[in-house]
Amino acid sequence: MSRYKHLADLLKICSVLPALAVMPAFAAVDITEGQVIENQTNNDDANQNAAGLTITYGDSLTTSGVNNVTFNKNSSVNSGGAMKALNGFVAGDGWTFTNNHSDKMSGGLYVKIPEDAESNRNIVLGNGTTFSGNTSVWLGGALGIESAGTVTIGDNTKFESNSTEADGGAIAIWTDKSNGATSGTELTLGRTDFTGNTAANRGGAIANLNSDKAENKTDFYNTVNIASGSTFTGNSAKTGGAIYNLGTMNVDGTFDGNSTTATRGHGGAIYNAGEMSVAGTFKNNTATNAASQGGAIYNSGTLTVADNTVFSGNSTDTGDGGAIYNSGTLNIGDNVTFSGNTGDGTLFMGTGATTTIGDNVKFVDNTHGTRGLQSGAISLGNNGNLTIGKDALFQGNKAALTGGGAIKASYADSHLTIADYAQFIANSSTKAGGALYLGSNNMNLGSDFIFVNNTATQGGAIFYNSMNTNLALNNFTFSGNKATDTAAGIGGAIAVGTNAAGELNINNSIFSSNTAAVAGGAISQADGSTATINIDESIFKSNSVDAEGGAIVSDATMTITNSEFIGNKTTGTVKIEDVEEGQPAYYANNGGGAIFLYDQSNTTVRDSVFSQNSSGTYGGAISTRIGASAENSSLTIDGATFTDNTAGVNGGAIYNTVAMTLNGENVFSGNMADGVANDIHNIGTMTVASGTTTLGGGITGDGTLTIADGATLDIGTTTVEQASIDIDGTLNASMLSSDNYGKLLADSITTGENGKLQLTIGSVGTYDIFGGIAHEDITIDAGLAYDVINNGADGIEIAIKAVEDIAADTGLSNQGAATIAVLANTDDDVLTAISLRAQTELAAGNVDYVEHETAKLNPENKPVAHSISSSVQNQVLSLAAGRMTGGTVGRSGGDLANADYGIWAQGLYNHSKLNGQFKGDTTGISVGADALIDGKNTIGIGYAYNDTDVDSDSRDTKIESNSLFLYGQYKPNNWYVNAALNYTMGNYTETSNPFGVQFESEYDVDSFGGQVMTGYDFASGLTPEIGARYLHISQDAYDVALGHVDGADMDYLTGVAGIRYAFEIESDMELKFRPELRAAATYDFLSDAAVATITAPGSVSYVIDADRLSRFGGEFGIGLTAEWRGLTVSLNYDLDLHEDYTSQTGMLKFRYDF
């Protein structure tokens, strides 16, 4: 039975063999190292296998990691011309797929591993994998991945010259949910080169698709990761020249020379509608044909551009986005560079797009495309949102038929934010806004922007046309920007368009060397704009225009505060028509060296400076439009300074045709019109409403002038010519001389209840202030020093009061009053100016100041000459006395040295001070020789040179003096008598600055005198002595500012009584010391004061009373003498005291006895 049983089993086995024959093998596929599979063909539509190698469900390679397998020239009518993988495998390095073809999916490797298959869904290809020359009719010319878990390909992979008639010239990856897929495939590529791959439809190198059919679209995506260092070169497709992405991709590499081939073929390198991040370099990529967008990238999904990415030389033909077209969400990192790209907007943002750009982005030398309808760098679409980080650089970007060489934000609903420190350099547009075209109603610009050398027809740097934005420009710098259109070139730096209706706030900004062909060298506001311009703490320097407004043209409300306008100018004459952005024609007045105000302008200028501005015709600093109506326009000046402005025709500083109001403290000086001093040409209405306006060049024109109650107009010596003048406040005028005084010329002059003519008098006389018209009902105030007679049509007569009346009325001293009288009669221009200043100060009640300053015009009234002369004499006498009675004891016997004669030299320093009056510092040197005769008689001669600086509250005096002196003594025993004679020649140079004007006087002071003293040397070392001293001072005549000062002589006789104490200390080394103390009382029996008589031209002489030193004084001294072998060194200190006066002298003397 067992035998039959075995036969039955065999029959059963045989019965299942046909079934086993049709089942999958589930066996290992045998591939060997270096194997070549080539020239295999599958032309059977029913045979789903690849022509070369198929790994079916559950299969695997016999050996994982087999290297250097080659698939060459294999072809299949089905998917996978060379290889088909329905299961995962691990390949080694160096696999090569060349020239394989599929009539369906993937000419090289086709991967389809469904999720419901119980198999390995992961594929690995090693380093050095190559796909070259593979083709397919459907997806994936070289590699098609329909479904898998992960596909990983190693480094140094190459995809070269692969192509498809559909999507993904090198790689296509997609997921078809009809196969039951619930998740996408993750493709990871090492460092890979994609070169010359093409797709007839999408993705010349890679197409990362959601599905191959719209009806099978999934709600999940495939992921592609491509390692750093990869390259995409010369790939092309209808859309997405290198990559077309609907899933998730991360790419880091170089994209060079990729392109699209069809009309509306977007994304020369990348088309992204999924989620993608890129890094590396994009250069020379193109979206070639008409209406193709995004020379490098077209993004409608979410795109992240990593830090340090570079876009260079990318372009579109007639489309937008020379580098990137964004209609989705775009995030650009830090330090990203866009350079040399061409297209309408290097970065173009479509409707509703959002773009965020990091710090330090650079847009350099990008230019418009063929159409020229967008900016050179960034164009912001309708309802878009653009944010740019700090330190952005826009340089050399160009726009053609549209505005915004760097950025165009023309749509009202768009949003623009630019962070701090952006730079815009040498950008240009052949329309408006060389750097920025701003029409958005939602803008926020940071601070510290720089705009240099940007150019446009209008708005060389910025064209501002927002209807609803309050835009702040903080710490901006505009330099060298230009608006070039000879017919409509407005706003060298900023043009405010007709539609602008928001607020433009400019703070702490600098506008320098900007130019415009027509209007507003720095800023111009178009006719019809209702935008408000506010300028604060800004500088406008050296801006220029051919026609109107060297710095600014305004046609709406403008406020300027705490700003400076320096050296701005207008140069030519232009008629302006066909203005951009719907602006009506301008008719240039060639006016307003700094500011030109149009018909609807209401401008306030507050606390600002206008200096050295110039106009070819009207208004060196400010001009309003000829024919403008005061009903619609106004100009308010509040606390401004106008200096050295010039106009070719009228209005050295201001040409006014509207309602002009002056408030606060306004000062005009050095302004010229047609070569003549002129401040304002007024043919409108001019009101000095408050404060004080001071003129230096006067007013011309046939307008109306009103000085309101409480306000002051100071015309100085200028002429005010108007049709009518109404004086309700104070009119100040200066009467310097008969041909130099203030005048009013008008058909009608009226005076209100509080109207007053305040005169500042420099010289007496008769003045025709009202141009021959009698005006006797005005109150005239000529100050405290003058009498005024109003002679009607014959003018106003001014006479100086008597000196005593001036002193009584002003509170000045007689000397001060006499000086005021002299100044009033002078013909000297400098003294006349001082006279005016003195009158102004007296009117302000500054009597003490006037007293102090007028004293500087007169000779010194302090005892300076006495102090210096006596101090020099005392030095000489002290020195002589020391030689005769000090140093050696008893020159008649017991000498420390037995020499017959000796020479000596002495240096000194003296400091003298009269409290509250003056102080003097003297340095000097003396030399001399003396001899001892018969042991009883001493004779000697000496010379002294002294240099002194005296500082007083009224002047500084420099004194040089040379002194010659003789001395002698008779001393037969302890009793002695000595005498000294001196003669001094002094040169005095005085410098004073009355009222800030410097004067210098020079004169000589000579003095001579002498002293006789007698005393007795007691053995105890005490020496009482008594004597007399005489000094004569002779001061030469000289000239001072006010006239001639007579010479003067002064005498002083002084009695002296005192005591000295000295003793000797002798050492064993032949070194001897002699300390000495001295004290004396002095009394001046004769003491003349230094009275000066001054004679002024045209005036009587008057006397300047002078002070003198007090008669009683004291002299004290201490000395120490050391002698060794004929060499004597002495150190002495002397103090001279009078009431409030001290004179301290230190002397160091050397003597050698032969």
pLDDT at 28: 61
C-alpha neighbours within 13 Å on the C-beta side of residue 435: 30
Number of domains in the chain: 1
Residue 312 lies in a domain: no
How buried is residue 1068: exposed, middle or buried, by Cβ count under 10 Å (0-12/13-18/19+)? exposed
Residue 926 lies in a domain: yes
| Mean pLDDT per 10-residue section of the chain, whose length is 1154 residues | 41 36 49 95 91 88 91 96 95 98 97 79 96 97 95 98 98 80 90 98 95 59 96 97 96 97 90 97 92 92 98 90 96 98 90 97 88 78 96 94 86 94 96 91 95 96 87 96 91 91 94 95 88 96 94 93 97 46 45 90 96 95 76 91 96 96 98 97 97 97 97 96 96 88 92 90 86 80 85 85 86 84 78 80 86 79 67 72 52 39 83 79 88 87 88 83 90 90 88 86 88 90 91 84 80 90 81 88 83 59 64 88 83 85 82 68
At 297, list the tokens: 């990238």
Of the candidates 981, 986, 1027, 989, the one whose C-alpha atom is nearest the C-alpha of residue 1008 is 981
Residue 639 lies in a domain: no
* Tally of CB atoms within 10 A around 1099: 19
Distance in angstroms (rounded) separating the CA atoms of residues 764 and 761: 7
* Tally of CB atoms within 10 A around 961: 23
What is the CATH number for 957?
2.40.128.130
At 895, list the tokens: 């000498």
Give the β-pairing of 275-283 and 302-305.
parallel
pLDDT at 217: 62
pLDDT at 699: 98
Handedness of CA 318, 320, 324, 327 (dihedral sign): negative
Q: Determine the 3-state secondary structure of 21 from DSSP.
A: helix
Q: Are 1081 and 891 in contact (CB under 8 A)?
A: no
Give the β-pairing of 796-800 and 765-767.
antiparallel
Question: Cα dist. 527→532, 581, 663 in Å?
Answer: 13, 11, 28
Residue 446 lies in a domain: no
Q: Determine the 3-state secondary structure of 854 from DSSP.
A: helix
Q: Are 538 and 561 in contact (CB under 8 A)?
A: no
Residue 500 lies in a domain: no
Q: For 416, phi and psi rounded to 5 degrees? A: -130, 130
Q: What is the dihedral of CA 747, 753, 758, 764, to 10 degrees?
A: 70
Q: What range does the domain containing 961 cover?
A: 865-1153
Q: Are 507 and 474 in contact (CB under 8 A)?
A: yes
Q: Are 557 and 533 in contact (CB under 8 A)?
A: yes
Handedness of CA 880, 885, 886, 892 (dihedral sign): positive
At 4, list the tokens: 């039959």
Model pTM score: 0.74
Distance in angstroms (rounded) separating the CA atoms of residues 612 and 1142: 54
Q: Which residues contact 80 (CB under 8 A, 6 or more apart)?
A: 49, 50, 51, 54, 102, 105, 106, 108, 109, 110, 144
At 64, list the tokens: 């994982």
Residue 1077 lies in a domain: yes
Distance in angstroms (rounded) separating the CA atoms of residues 131 and 171: 10
Q: Are 1101 and 1055 in contact (CB under 8 A)?
A: no
Distance in angstroms (rounded) separating the CA atoms of residues 457 and 449: 22
Distance in angstroms (rounded) separating the CA atoms of residues 737 and 310: 76
Distance in angstroms (rounded) separating the CA atoms of residues 46 and 197: 30
Q: At what angle do helices 829-843 and 847-855 cross, to 10 degrees?
A: 160
Residue 954 lies in a domain: yes
At 526, list the tokens: 């178009």
pLDDT at 861: 64
pLDDT at 629: 57
Q: Determine the 3-state secondary structure of 815 from DSSP.
A: helix
Q: Are 544 and 515 in contact (CB under 8 A)?
A: yes
Residue 163 lies in a domain: no
